[in-house]
Amino acid sequence: MAFASSTSVIEATAGVNDAESLCYWPLWRLTQALQTQALSAQTLLDACEAAFTRDHETVHALVIHDHAAARAEASRIDAARRAGEALGPLAGIPFSIKESFDVAGWPTTCGDPAHAQNIADQDAAVITRLRRAGAVLLGKSNVPLHLRDWQSHNAVYGTTRNPHDPTRTPGGSSGGSAAAVCAGMSVFDVGSDIGSSLRNPAHYCGIFSHKSTHGLISLAGHGIRSDDPMPDINVAGPLARSAKDLEILLRVLAQDGRELRAPRPVQLDHCRIGVLSSHPFAPVDSEVSSVIESLARRLEQSGAKVTMQSMPSIEAEELWRTYVLMLRAATSMYMNDSAYAQAQERARACDPHDLSYAALQHVGTVLDHRAWLQLAQARRRFARAWDDYFQLYDVLLCPAAATPAFELNQAGEPWQRMLSVNGRPQPMTTQLFWAGFSGLCGLPSTVTPAGLSTEGLPVGVQIIAGHGEDLTSLRVAQWLEDLGYCYRPPRMRRQ
């Protein structure tokens, strides 16, 4: 089932100054209204604050917020605009930021009570760029403990819920980010992604996100006292209510000196699209795969050259093993000595042939340098296979997750929890395969709404492009949006 045009849905309900619909408008349209002074930054801020007041108790997405400071900044921007001053491209646009990014004077905890008093003394690099562009910071969005879950709950801030169905997850680790944007509390958010942390929340909440090419956006100031602008595998990227918004934000967030390569196809009927709706190693529920296949047929009817069941020449088990080991090696630097010692004990007890996430996570955490170098060699081989693939195709469409948003389940550890996939139990962590598929080699991935499940829950599709080809995956997302695969406000969907 395709979505109706987001613009037509909003225009059918209210005018430009109606707070009930204004908070759901896409960034690109809001910037036009602000620049022509058909809309004030103060009015837009009021609309976002009204959405926050209405749904915060239920959704609990913005766990740190300062609407008073944002109101003062919006008033300053309105005065500057009336005076004819030159302003940045995002001047007056309210935004939120994932809790794991530093904001001067605010805590960065990553959901860990041990870091409750970790007050940042300067802004993260992405905050600096967004403020320079004139965006108005509203608050911080919730995360899971240590950013390691496909849900967003922790002992510091509590549980975030999906605006479409509060009994279900909004995703993680950028789950608060997606929930805030979906619910109209902020116009956009910026999250991070090392294991689908931008992609699964967009899929679950029915919005758009972009996992950028590795290194395109600085991650300096992300995490606990981290100044590394380009940690292994991990990237930053925006979440928004339109594919057009993602491109606007990417141009603001890209590091100086990093040029965005022009998109490959100039029109849809020139586009070569591969589709992989499921895989035997990491099966996807038919509620998701059937939506992706339907979308692929729609693209083919619109003139695109579509090839089903297509993927690069990469062995799935080897990709999975390499990804999980390197993923957990990358995150091991944030562990304290006690946690690392526990991982060493658990790794010694693991069967070297065990491909379960439960085992690989411990082995990866304590990898020696020689083993890591061998994995890096495999990763380069996978990257060459992707390069070969993108000689034949412009993008690959695949799932972002195995199911639509699942019911909240906070019992035990993430790798101990199960999902029902086509009526069979599957470890929740198995769907990380779809994260590592593009993430291991640093490829850009855009997630866009693709339709609805039989229960009416959002289903997204992941659009993977070649290294540095961010604008290519975004261009395909924009074409899909033009075809009606759009964000829908959650309250309107329930009616």
Q: pLDDT of 193-227, one tens digit each?
A: 999 999 999 999 999 999 999 999 999 999 998 99
Q: Give every residue of the chain whose pLDDT is below 50, as ranges.
A: 1-17, 492-495
The pLDDT of residue 494 is: 39
3-state SS track over the chain: CCCCCHHHHHHCCCCCCCHHHHCCCCHHHHHHHHHCCCCCHHHHHHHHHHHHHHHHHHHCCEEEECHHHHHHHHHHHHHHHHCCCCCCCCCCCEEEEECCECCCCCECCCCCHHHCCCECCCCCHHHHHHHHCCCEEEEEECCCHHHCCCCCEECCCEECCECCECCECCCCCCHHHHHHHHCCCCCEEEEEECCCCCHHHHHHHCCEEEECCCCCCCCCCECCCCCCCCCCCCEEEEEECCHHHHHHHHHHHCCCCCCCCCCCCCCHHHCEEEECCCCCCCCCCHHHHHHHHHHHHHHHHCCCEEEECCCCCCCHHHHHHHHHHHHHHHHHHHCCHHHHHHHHHHHHCCCCCCCCHHHHHHHHHCCCHHHHHHHHHHHHHHHHHHHHHHHHCCEEEECCCCCCCCECCCCCCHHHCEEEECCEEEEHHHHHHHHHHHHCCCCCEEEEEEEECCCCCEEEEEEECCCCCHHHHHHHHHHHHHCCCCCCCHHHHHC
| pLDDT tens per residue, range 127-172 | 999 999 999 999 999 999 999 999 999 999 999 999 999 999 999 9
Distances (CA, A) of 249 to 99, 209, 245, 392: 19, 11, 6, 29
Tokens of 444: 């850009």
